[in-house]
Chain A
């Protein structure tokens, strides 16, 4: 009888312990519960100093200094929260501030001490809100953006869609963006009609024209895991620009000695197609490659190839030398200083649109120790990047960038 009692007691304890197991499982589930409070995912700060020099300024018709400096900074803040239905809401706020000085812009009106666009600040905030369902792999987002310069304003909006496959090896992304821009039409001093202003509020308040420049772009991309060491990305970005696409303070000189302001078609269709392959062959280095083919209806065709080889000095420190080559066939509207045909409808002496090739070489240092950079836990990653750019037209530039990620 005692054995029976003991058996019943053991059974009862067994049931209790099995309940205890269930109870433990419940505790485990609770630990998987995602907080619905808004939390900071990451903060990024990127700062760059850029300097260029050359002797083919478009403002003076393809001759003269192209000296320019730009100090550019962006700050972005990514926040997220889970809704009651379990969907993740991500908010990405970005603020960019640039300060640049341009020696060629000072030639718009060489008689003044400093003309309208000799130095300027550009400020550009944007906000993206994306809702993603981690169970289905679908995400949908909207973006709003604004940009302000002395002579240029832009208001933008866009949508983005993401679809991730069940095994998470394939990802499809779609993006559509619209930028509605307004440009103050500043003319070279000698080509201003009577009564037309300089564009500078400091000098005079005579009226100037304002023209729209609108951009509509879409982006389709598919990323694919190919094997345990290789993954690829294929991307197509058709876009269309409409409005004032010429820069009206840029001069053009013709074979008959006449001078006019730059004139280019009011529509531009662009079609870049690109592919990236990233390969991790061993423990110490990675090969990152990029290739792009570009064509547009102004006659520009370009090939761009890039290779970067991150070498892992330790698991958390890497140095990545990189090289980029670009080769482009220029627009049919381009001619150098004094070589435009007076009968042409469209003309530019902007060497950015000419036939050229360029080399860009540099290195990227990346620190991402587990205890934080310099022992500061919140500073998750620090990157320092330097690049030297050499263009076949004689333009050279240097850029140094510092990027910090806080978590």
Chain B
């Protein structure tokens, strides 16, 4: 299991590192696609309650813009 976790970490770092290092300088006037509201990097507002119930129905949580503490709501 430890090996698998280490492999996942490595893969994530590699993918992210590769993506980030191959960045172009994009000017403001070239951002019409990036500025599209569907391209927002945060989770949708309408996902708020989905993430909240997933937090309670699954052991893993966090890093998706959902609730990370405060108040139980845990039934």
Contacts and interface: CB of A to CB of B under 8 A. Distances in A.
Nearest to A397: B53
A248 interface: no
Contacts of A330: 59
Interface size classification for chain A: 35 or more
Nearest to B36: A280
Given A292-B64, A293-B8, A395-B57, A156 B70 contact: yes
Residues of A contacting B: mostly: strand
B34 A272 contact: no
B69 A301 contact: no
Interface string A160-196: 0000000111000000010101010000000000000
A142 B36 CA distance: 29
A228 B39 CA distance: 12
B4 to A, nearest CB: 8
B8 A277 contact: no
Contacts of A296: 59-60
Interface in A358-403: 358, 360, 364, 366, 368, 381, 383-385, 387, 389, 391, 395, 397, 399, 401-403
Interface string B46-67: 1111101110111111111000
B60 to A, nearest CB: 3
Interface in B21-75: 22-28, 30-31, 33-34, 36-41, 44-50, 52-54, 56-64, 68-75
Contacts of A183: 72
29 contacts: A48-B49, A50-B49, A52-B53, A68-B75, A72-B52, A124-B71, A148-B71, A149-B73, A156-B70, A217-B62, A217-B69, A224-B20, A225-B26, A225-B31, A226-B23, A231-B34, A241-B69, A270-B62, A273-B63, A280-B33, A280-B36, A293-B8, A300-B60, A301-B1, A352-B57, A360-B50, A360-B54, A401-B49, A403-B44
The 4 A-B residue pairs with the shortest CB-CB distance in the complex, in nearest-first order: A147-B71, A302-B60, A215-B69, A294-B60
Interface of B: 1, 5, 8-9, 12, 15-16, 19-20, 22-28, 30-31, 33-34, 36-41, 44-50, 52-54, 56-64, 68-75
Given A294-B61, A383-B46, 15 more contacts: A46-B49, A70-B53, A122-B71, A149-B72, A154-B69, A229-B34, A232-B41, A275-B15, A277-B19, A286-B39, A294-B60, A366-B38, A389-B53, A389-B57, A401-B48
Interface of A: 44, 46, 48, 50, 52, 68, 70, 72, 74, 98, 100, 102, 104-105, 117, 120, 122, 124, 145, 147-149, 151-152, 154, 156, 167-169, 177, 179, 181, 183, 215, 217, 219, 222-237, 239, 241, 247, 270, 272-278, 280, 286, 288, 290-296, 298, 300-304, 310, 312, 318, 320, 326, 328-331, 352-353, 356, 358, 360, 364, 366, 368, 381, 383-385, 387, 389, 391, 395, 397, 399, 401-403, 405
